[in-house]
Structure formats: C-alpha cells, structure tokens
Amino acid sequence: MMGPKVVLVAPETPANVGFAARACANFGVREWFQVGGCVLHGSEAEKTGAPARPQWETLQRVDTLADALADTTHVVGFTARAGEHRQPQSAHQLSKWRQAWGADARVAFVFGRESRGLETSEVALCSNLVFIPTHGLSSMNLSHAIAVALFAWQAGDARLDTLLHAPDGAEVTPSWASQDSRQRLFSKVQDLVLESQYQDRRDELADTLQRLSSLPLEARDVRVLESLIRHARWSQAPR
C-alpha cells in the first residue's frame, strides 16, 4: 500500500507548512497538497522547510479540497472537536484501518486551518474522522499533528500482511472506488430520484446522498449499483 497523501486545507502560517514538509519527509509521504491558504514564496516556510527541500518542491497547490481528493478511496479528516456532525475516533485506530483497508486503498489525511480546523462542508467529504488524544491542551501544532498521524498509521509491523484471505486460501485485495466514481454514482442516483418525481424530504435526501458519497465503496459495488440504475431507467422507458 502506498502511504497516505497529506492535504493541508487553507494553512494560515507559512512556517507551519515548512515544518509540515519536514514531517512528510520523515515518513516518506509521496504526495501532499495545499488547498488555498497562505502564500509561501519568500516566506518563513522556505526557512523552516529547508532541511526537506526535495519534499518542499513536490507540494501541489489546488483550488478545492475535492481536487486534492479526486483519486482517493478513504479520506481521514483530523479534528479536535466533536459534535452532531463530528464523531471522531482515536488515532489509535489508524494502524487497524491500514490493515483492514488493504493494499489497494488510496488514503488521504486531511488537516484544517490552525485557527479553527476543518469546516462542516469539508468534514462532509471525509469518510473517517480522527482526533489525537492529548493531555490538557486539545489542539496540536499542524506539523506535530501530521507527524503523530503518520507514525500512528505506520505503527506495528511495517511488513504486516494487508491481504484478505478467501476461504479457499486465495489471496485477494479489495479494489476501492475513487471519490470521483462515487460522486458520479450518487449523481446518477439523484438524477433517478428527480426523474421519478419523488418529493418527500428532498433536501434531507440530498444531504444523505452527499454523506453516502464520501463513504468508501469497493469498485465492484459501484459497478453493481450503476447496473441497477441502468436497469431501472430501462424498465421505466416507454415501450
């Protein structure tokens, strides 16, 4: 399995992005993204990130969080808050998820602004939420949080077998659907709902479909559901 990509949403302090480059280099991160946020050229980031210059040069700037997550199957958002729309689990779960998701998973770790973290709309794009247990002060410096998260992900035997075993002994790995394919699927579901003139609780239904589109699905599940939608349209077509 490739390590997770790291996504920084609207970072506010350039120096923190430089330190984040060092954390990513420490743990072999191959892809990392910045979604909006502070300007880095000529800033403190060039100084704080200097020891990890090769990592620094791979940072990709994108306009939206969705752009950064386009090819991912599992999106892990980090938050120091809990509430109605946030039920984070401990970072202790990360190594277990790494084993359970298998070698085909394409994972993103998403970190929010230093001042207020991730917005509700950004949390909605995450399939899993995580908090890092601390004593006293609940929030962590951005680069520290990245380092802790990547360490927790790699915890245990680095050579652990992530394959799932079928009953006959054959080794198989799940093929996860990307976020793009999940979004297309649920867009088709929404179109089908509109075509059926379903009126009950339409706004609530739209919110539900948006949340479902952020959950991990195997590629075969998407294919089956798309086939079902095609059949539903065919059966409703005038003969």
For position 20, which CATH number holds? 3.40.1280.10
The predicted pLDDT at position 168 comes to 42
Residues 183 and 155 in one domain: no
Q: Report the amino acid identity of residue 219.
A: A
Paired strand residues for 62: 35
Give the domain range for residue 133.
Answer: 5-159
Residues 13 and 60 in one domain: yes
Q: Of 159, 191, 218, which residue constitutes the final position of a domain?
A: 159
Residues 78 and 20 in one domain: yes
Residues 137 and 219 in one domain: no
Residue 145 belongs to some domain of the structure: yes
Residues near 109 by Cβ (< 8 Å), separated by ≥ 6? 4, 5, 6, 7, 76, 78, 146, 149, 150, 153
Q: Please, what's the b/e burial string for 30-54 (b: 16 or more CB within 10 A of its CB; e: otherwise)?
A: ebbbbbebbebeebbbbebbeebee
Residue 171 belongs to some domain of the structure: no
Residues 151 and 187 in one domain: no
Residue 164 belongs to some domain of the structure: no
Residues 28 and 92 in one domain: yes
Residues 79 and 25 in one domain: yes
Whether the model pTM is above 0.75: no
Q: pLDDT in tens for each of the 239 residues of the chain?
A: 568 999 999 999 999 999 999 999 999 999 999 999 999 999 999 999 999 999 989 999 999 999 999 999 999 999 988 877 778 999 999 999 998 998 889 999 999 999 999 999 999 999 999 999 888 788 899 999 999 999 999 885 444 333 333 344 443 456 778 878 888 888 888 787 777 777 777 677 777 777 777 778 777 778 878 777 777 776 766 65
Residues 94 and 124 in one domain: yes
From the list 128, 132, 136, the residue with the least C-alpha distance to 87 is 128
Residues 138 and 196 in one domain: no
Is residue 74 within 8 A of residue 1, CB to CB? The reply is no
Please list the alpha-helical segments (H only) found in the chain.
Answer: 14-26, 45-48, 53-56, 65-68, 94-101, 120-123, 142-154, 179-195, 202-213, 219-236
CA–CA gap between residue 164 and residue 186 (Å, rounded): 28
Residues 90 and 24 in one domain: yes
Residues 152 and 213 in one domain: no
Residue 167 belongs to some domain of the structure: no
The predicted pLDDT at position 6 comes to 98
Residue 123 belongs to some domain of the structure: yes
Residues 153 and 187 in one domain: no
Residue 46 belongs to some domain of the structure: yes
Residue 170 belongs to some domain of the structure: no
Q: Of 130, 159, 188, which residue constitutes the final position of a domain?
A: 159
- The number of distinct structural domains making up the chain is 2
